[in-house]
Amino acid sequence: MPTPNAPRVLVVILNWNAPADTLACLQSLRASDYRNQHILVIDNGSTDDSLAVLSREEGIDLLANPENLGFTGGCNLGLQAAARYEADYVWLLNNDTQVASDCLSELVRAAQADHRIGLLSPVLYHRGSDSIQHGGSRYHLDPPTIEETADLSTARRWQNETPEQLVLWGTALLIPRATLERVGLLDARLFAYSEDTDYSIRCGLAGLRKCMVDRARVWHSWNNGVRKPYYYYYTTRNDLLMWRRHVSLATYLRVAFWNYRRTVRVLARLQDQPEHRQACMLGFWDGLAQRTGIYTPGRRAPRALQAMFRNAAR
């Protein structure tokens, strides 16, 4: 039974063609010592047997999207459900995570202790180890940069020095309902990647603090293999989309130049992967054009831009 007067938490898990991961995540949640939680699994247009598998699970609500709305679109459906579930907090939880039994309790305890905090995250560990995957990040607007660390002492120092400038990953992000009412939803234009950085910046600009709760632990899978072409498209494009929202035009032109130089370096690592190279160049082009939405395989950047990148690599 839920603890009397404990804040109500809506746990939102997004599934896309990975029911086994989602089931493992659910199993870890069921061992949680925080009882006043409700689990909403959102299937994001899966084309495998996800719906058949997940519909057999008890103790969850299952929402099926007929199409893939991306990480942002899928999660936004969960965030919009906060009022319907009368939730005090929404916990966006990746389906490829497993949580410590006291993780949610620690997150809620930290949130309740300081209502100036607008976003919270556990420390992320590599699956099956005590090795820290992500301890924290922080942003700067001039020049536009992101620092990142896996060192908890550094993360604590950043949190004490500049709590508004922390950047928290969206892997296991606890969002108070008051933050949603003040800041709004994730930027659906981004589809996937950079949305957590954008949301952290928006919260900081709204005067809200962010908190990495080092007593809260989540284990997260990490893909060290070959990335799909869409990864290079979204990460390249969304860097340009995100910073354009937050900096002046003059500063953005510097961002575009830095992005171009980084893209040249990435392309050099993708010499034997033509589709990945094309996706990366297209991401740069669409980012400059402020084009949003889903990646379409087969689209190409203009030939002149492709030639410019080829010449830069010589």
Query: Are the C-beta atoms of 154 and 135 separated by less than 8 Å?
Result: yes
Q: Residue 236 above 60 pLDDT?
A: yes
- DSSP 8-state class, residue 223: -
Is residue 136 very low, low, confident or very high in pLDDT (cuts 50, 70, 90)? confident
Q: Which among 3, 2, 10, 5 has a CA at the least distance from the CA of 60?
A: 10
Residue with tokens 């919270």: 120
The percent of residues in the chain predicted with pLDDT above 90, rounded, is: 91
Token output for 130 = 């005590």
Q: Residue 100: what residue type?
A: A
Give the residues across from 33 on adjacent strands: none
Residue 197 CB contacts under 8 Å (≥ 6 apart), including other chains: 137, 139, 146, 167, 242
Collapse the DSSP code of 216 into the 3-class scheme (helix H, G, I; strand E, B; otherwise coil) and give the result.
Answer: strand
Per-residue pLDDT tens over the stretch 3-17:
558 999 999 999 999
Quick check: bond before 229 cis, omega within 30?
no
Token output for 38 = 């409700």
Using CA atoms, how far apart are residues 22 and 301, in angstroms rounded to an integer?
Answer: 36
Using CA atoms, how far apart are residues 257 and 238, in angstroms rounded to an integer?
Answer: 15
For 31-53, the DSSP string reads T-S--SEEEEEEEES-SSSHHHH
Query: Are the C-beta atoms of 54 and 62 separated by less than 8 Å?
Result: yes
Per-residue pLDDT tens over the stretch 241-270:
999 999 999 999 999 999 999 999 999 999
Using CA atoms, how far apart are residues 135 and 293, in angstroms rounded to an integer?
Answer: 30
Using CA atoms, how far apart are residues 32 and 286, in angstroms rounded to an integer?
Answer: 43
Using CA atoms, how far apart are residues 154 and 144, in angstroms rounded to an integer?
Answer: 20
Q: Where are the domains of the chain?
A: 9-220, 229-312
Architecture of domain 9-220 in this structure: Alpha-Beta Complex (3.90)
Residue 224: per-residue pLDDT: 62
Residue 225: per-residue pLDDT: 65
Q: Residue 283: what residue type?
A: G
Rg (CA), the chain: 20
Q: Which among 113, 99, 114, 93 has a CA at the least distance from the CA of 10?
A: 93
The Cα angle at residue 101 between residues 95 and 104, in degrees rounded to 5: 70
Element (H, E) at 10: strand 9-15
Range with the poorest average pLDDT among 17-21, 135-139, 272-276:
135-139
- Region 52-75 average pLDDT: 97
Query: Are the C-beta atoms of 191 and 294 separated by less than 8 Å?
Result: yes
- DSSP 8-state class, residue 65: E
Q: Residue 229: what residue type?
A: P
Per-residue pLDDT tens over the stretch 14-57:
999 999 999 999 999 999 999 999 999 999 999 999 999 999 99
Give the residues across from 29 on adjacent strands: none
Residues belonging to the chain: 314
Using CA atoms, how far apart are residues 66 and 83, in angstroms rounded to an integer?
Answer: 23
- Region 126-153 average pLDDT: 91
Per-residue pLDDT tens over the stretch 71-117:
999 999 999 999 999 999 999 999 999 999 999 999 999 999 999 99
Using CA atoms, how far apart are residues 295 and 301, in angstroms rounded to an integer?
Answer: 12
Residue 278: per-residue pLDDT: 98
Per the prediction, the chain carries an average pLDDT of 95
- Region 156-180 average pLDDT: 95
Q: What global pTM score does this model have?
A: 0.94
Q: Residue 251: what residue type?
A: T
- Region 195-213 average pLDDT: 96
Is residue 1 very low, low, confident or very high in pLDDT (cuts 50, 70, 90)? very low
- Region 125-147 average pLDDT: 92
